[in-house]
Amino acid sequence: MLEQVSYYEDYDIGQSRQTVGRTITETDFVVHAGHSGDFFPHHLDAEFCKTLPFGQRIAHGTMVFTIGVGLTATVINPVAFSYGYDRMRFVKPVFIGDTIRSTVEIIAKELMEKRPGFGRVTERLTVTKQTGETALVADHIYMVECRR
């Protein structure tokens, strides 16, 4: 983990980086159920899932989001603060054995009128599978200090 100060002015639209990959295992499914308390059979009952269109257990949306975001957590910017997410969409299901990686790209920035000295930076998170399919997208909104 590295610390790197990036002020509002340092963000350029189009900047992007891609993370390493991580295989989503049956263990992750079980851990996520136990952590979240969501034991819906869509995630944990292989017999029930045989009767559904996908034919197998599908990952919790909150897990794809959590691990997708977690993969990006490699650089600390002490002057940026997470504000929230917009337009999170579950595009394709993630199955046991899929390998995901995340790409983040700066897609918008604007100064915050109500909060002088800060800008709002939007970073699009795209979680993709080894097949090339997109599993999840979400727009991460940061509040970033301006250089003084």
Chain positions contacting a copy of itself, by CB under 8 A = 1-3, 19-23, 25-41, 44-48, 57, 61-63, 65-67, 69-71, 73-74, 76, 82-90, 97, 99, 130, 138
| Strand-pair category, 99-111 with 118-129 | antiparallel
d(CA 39, CA 33): 5
d(CA 110, CA 30): 41
Q: Smallest gap, in angstroms, from Cβ of residue 66 to a copy of itself? A: 4
Q: Smallest gap, in angstroms, from Cβ of residue 8 to a copy of itself? A: 19
Q: Which is nearer to a copy of itself, 7 or 85 (CB)?
A: 85
Q: Which is nearer to a copy of itself, 36 or 147 (CB)?
A: 36
Kindly state the tokens that stand for 142: 């940061």
Q: Which is nearer to a copy of itself, 66 or 106 (CB)?
A: 66
Q: Smallest gap, in angstroms, from Cβ of residue 76 to a copy of itself? A: 6
Looking from the CA of 55 toward its CB, the CA atoms found within 13 Å total 0
Q: Which is nearer to a copy of itself, 16 or 130 (CB)?
A: 130
Q: Smallest gap, in angstroms, from Cβ of residue 32 to a copy of itself? A: 7
Q: Which is nearer to a copy of itself, 3 or 113 (CB)?
A: 3
Is residue 8 within 8 A of residue 121, CB to CB? The reply is yes
φ, ψ of residue 21 to 5 degrees: the values are -95, 165
Q: Smallest gap, in angstroms, from Cβ of residue 10 to a copy of itself? A: 18
Length of the chain: 148
Per-residue exposure over 25-42, b if at least 16 CB sit within 10 Å of its own CB, e if not: eeebbeebbeeeeeeeeb
